[in-house]
Structure 1
Amino acid sequence: MRRLAEEEPELDLWLGRRNRMRRGDRLWFFFTHPESAVAAVAEVDEEPRNDPDAPDIPYLVAVTLLPEATKALHRDPVGRDELGLGQVRSVQTVKPEALPVLLTRAGL
């Protein structure tokens, strides 16, 4: 993900849910292996949309990975316990108490 952020940061992602996502929101990428942690971040470029050419994909969203913030998180990821996470869903809102930790570690 770090390499992708540097080489090709603009991409479309498919989502099972859109969870009130809007342009300018941030996507924090939670990885489960090798450790459970947030280690990348992107900014939403457009609101999620349906793709008529791919009816089996609920939503597509255009995002831009943030290279410097992703590098910072790659070096020092934010672990599951620091986020206060129980069950992790595919798309969920960051808990307010976790946001300062994410922003600090990402250098934002």
Structure 2
Amino acid sequence: MVSTGRVGGEGHPLLGWGVPVAEAGGRLYTGRVARQDGPVLPVAAFVEMAFAAGGGRPIRELSVDALLYIPDDGTAELQTWVGEHRLTIHARYRDTEPWTRLATA
């Protein structure tokens, strides 16, 4: 899998650029992933994203709610939000679709 987004400050290609979130606090990272090596984003990628977005802090628990299947003819949009004690990873395929929560930590 290769990100089609820009590399963010943490250097993880699936996070994209991080911006502070007004009122909710924390930071939001956005990126895209395209299908190149397989149809599913490996769960290990969620762990890497959580570790990088959390600034290298230990991850006590990561719950995977859904796998990310990448379409043959498209990309998936990713959002990773990290707060003081919580992190979520969401994805969607099109702007008109709702976000699906993939993992929480």
Tell me, yes or no, whether TM beats 0.5: no
Identify, as 1 or 2, the structure richer in helix. Answer: 1
Identify, as 1 or 2, the structure richer in strand. Answer: 2
Q: Which has the larger radius of gyration?
A: 1
TM-score scaled by structure 1?
0.31
TM-score scaled by structure 2?
0.32
- Greater relative contact order (Cα < 8 A, sep 6+): 1
